[in-house]
Every structure is written in structure tokens, then in C-alpha cells.
Chains A and B, each alone.
Chain A
């Protein structure tokens, strides 16, 4: 009979008393790590990234202004140019306020798109409003995580990637304000969303 008794005791000790005690313990961990960002903010992600200038950043450092963000890769010839085309369109339409928007391109090909290569890509593209464009290189697992948070799917197929072409607008706190599923047709809605966000901040 004894073994059963002991097992039963272990079981009781394991389940009830500890449970009751710990439940009321104040929760701290995550709240301290990401102060101020809403619970569903993309800036809850703690991954670190390298910019095209080799500077290490967390996504949270983009907070404070609206962000347009998409996943691309520099050797992409098919749909990425369309995404970049929409980024330019957004910039052109908001040119007055473009200095208050961050344009963020995250590489889904981190092995080949090193910060150096991203820098070259940036130069080659001659983006308007230099300084507002952030090209990011991260670990593969960080890219996968960011993609998941943005509901972007991608898969490497040989040297290329099959990927969804979502363009996302983040509000100044990192919450998703709008997602444009495809480049092209619906860019106007994206522009309006950003206009709304800028308006909400008040003009300088």
C-alpha cells in the first residue's frame, strides 16, 4: 500500500498547493522587457537585427512613427520589385510627410543578404528620402518569427523564395494598422491609412 500512498502524496504536492500559491505571485518578466508597447504590438518581438549600415537594432527602436514594412530579398526579380514600387508610390504620395515614415524592408534571405549586400542594394535602388529606409538582416529564426507575426508565408525553393507579398503598416506603437495583401491595386488604402496615422499625431 505504501507506494500508492507516496505517489498520491507526490501528486497532491505537485498539483494543488504550489498551484494555489504561485498563481497570485505578481507577473513581471515580459512586462519589464517591453515597457509601454501594447500587448499586440509587433515591438513585443525581442529579436535583434542588423541594418544596412551594420547597426544592431530591435524592432522597438522604430516606435514613434508609422512604419511601412514588407519581407523581400535582393535577388528577387518577380514580385519584390512590385512591392518596392508600392513603397515608392507611398513615399511619393506622402512626400510632405515622408520624413516622418519609416520604410522597412526585411530580407527573407539572411544568408545572402548580408548588411553589406543590403547597403549595395539600397544604393542601387536610389530610394527617395535616404535615411528613412531601413533594410534588415536577421537570423533565420527571427525572420520566421517576424513573418509569422505579420502573417507572411514564405519558402525557399532553390535560390528563390515563394512568398506572400503583404505590405503592412504599423502605427507608432507597433500595432498593425493595415495590411495590403498584394502590391498594386489597393495601395491607395495603404496611403490613406498612413495619412490617418500622421494626422492623428498632429502636424509639426
Chain B
């Protein structure tokens, strides 16, 4: 009997928050807004239109269902154009993620192409970087906590903690923000549709949009908000990625246009 209790408990953990816990619709409406993105050198705010964003990161369990239904995205079948050798590497087999906590945790070691294919299969898309950044300005109580140094410190504190061998904790475990979106900070980094919109061009003489101010020498000093080191790290991280990369603490969630 004890065995069943333990199994039941494990199952509850593995399946993640049961549907009843997630009774709210699975996406949150993020009202449009303006903010000054980090890469801007002219401090001109960008306008983001209202959009829907998944409340939850895509979990290992979600991704398992996806590869069950889409054989070409299984680890043994995926095309090298779409994912490097690290793709779903921690899984035991194509349809066998392994430990129960892998099902409950955000799926990681997925390439941009595979994340995109997943969202597409749900009639969704990846969020644009500016959409993601807008939603991520919120803390638990405010839509924009960016002016509060404590908010930035908390995020940086997370960035400084290694993920560890066990991988990220379960989806939902890093708390929800003002919009009811979980884990935007505190669990994993996230793919965005246009992660490749910031670039380092080296010596291009014709380049009139010097994003290298984000990266060189004084680092964030040339960016719109020199105090936003957390944002600086996100942009730097994204720009270091290739679409085939699979990273042990990089997952994703999906978004959708308003109807």
C-alpha cells in the first residue's frame, strides 16, 4: 500500500500541476505597451502590440507528447539542420525521458527549430524578443518593476546560480508575475522567435546600428539602460546562440497574436 502512495505521489509530481490547478486558460493576455529596449542607442521606446503568452513553460511531458505525434522531431530522427547532437540528450530514449522530474521540468536541450515546430503544432508561435522582454518587466505585483533595483538583483542572483546536474525545477516553481505568467525569471532561459536579431558584425564599415556597444569594452555602458545588467546578459546570451544549439538551461514557451 505504501508503495502505491509513493507512486501516486510521484505521479502527481510527474504529471505536474494537475489540470484542476491550471484551471485558468493556458495563456495570459499581455496588454501592449512601450519600453526602451536594451539595444537602442537612441532610447527610443518600442511599441509592443497586445499578445497572448503561455502561462507555463513547455514541460518535458508536453514535449514528449509532441515527439510522439511528430516522429521527425524525435532525438534519433531529427535533421542536423534543425538541432545539434545535444538535442534531448538527457532523455533515455526517443520516447523515454527518464526520471519523472524530467516530465515536470521545463523541456531543455531543444533547438530553436524544434521549439518553433512545437509552437506551430499548437497553432501558436514563439514570442518575439520584445514581447518576451515586455512581459518579463513585471514582478509579482507590478507590470513594470524595472526601476526597482531589488528586482534586477533578484534576477541576477538567479543568473549567477548554476542549474546543476539535476536540471531545472518543475514548471511553475519559480512563481507567477503580475500577468499570471509563471517562471519568466528563475528557471530557464527562453528561446524567442527573433533571438537572432541582435548581431555582432565585427568590422562592417557600413553597419549603422552598432549593437557591438552591447558587447565590447565597457559592456553595458553604451546601452539604453546601463543599470540593466540582467537584460544585458539576456541579449548577450541570445546573440551567442545558433538556431541549432541545444542548451541544458534553455527552454521555451509559446505565444499567439490576438485574434
Interfacial residues, chain A to chain B (CB-CB below 8 A): 1, 3-5, 7-8, 10-12, 14-15, 18-20, 22-23, 25, 27-31, 34, 38-42, 44-45, 78-79, 82, 141, 144-145, 147-149, 151-155, 157, 160, 162-165, 181-182
Contacts and interface: CB of A to CB of B under 8 A. Distances in A.
Contacts, number: 137
Contacts of A7: 8, 11-12, 15
Which interface residue of B79, B93, B208 has the most chain A CB atoms within 10 A? B79
Given A29-B71, A42-B81, A153-B239, A11 B93 contact: no
Contacts of A182: 201-204
Given A1-B1, A29-B71, A40 B199 contact: no
24 contacts: A4-B7, A11-B14, A11-B15, A14-B15, A15-B14, A22-B94, A27-B76, A29-B70, A29-B71, A29-B77, A30-B72, A30-B79, A31-B72, A39-B80, A144-B193, A144-B194, A148-B196, A148-B242, A151-B242, A153-B197, A155-B209, A157-B209, A162-B208, A164-B199
Which interface residue of A10, A11, A45 has the most chain B CB atoms within 10 A? A11
Interface of B: 1, 4-5, 7-12, 14-15, 68, 70-72, 74, 76-77, 79-82, 93-96, 100, 103, 112-113, 116, 125, 193-194, 196-199, 201-204, 206-209, 211, 239, 242-243
Contacts of A45: 81
A8 B96 contact: no
A148 B113 contact: yes
Contact of A78 (B68, B125, B206): B206
A11 B10 contact: yes
Given A11-B10, A162-B208, A181 B95 contact: no
Given A30-B77, A40-B81, A44-B81, A181 B12 contact: no
Contacts of B74: 27
A165 B77 contact: no
A181 B247 CA distance: 25
A5 B209 contact: no
Contact of B81 (A28, A149, A163, A164): A149
Contacts of A152: 196
A66 B242 CA distance: 24
B252 to A, nearest CB: 14
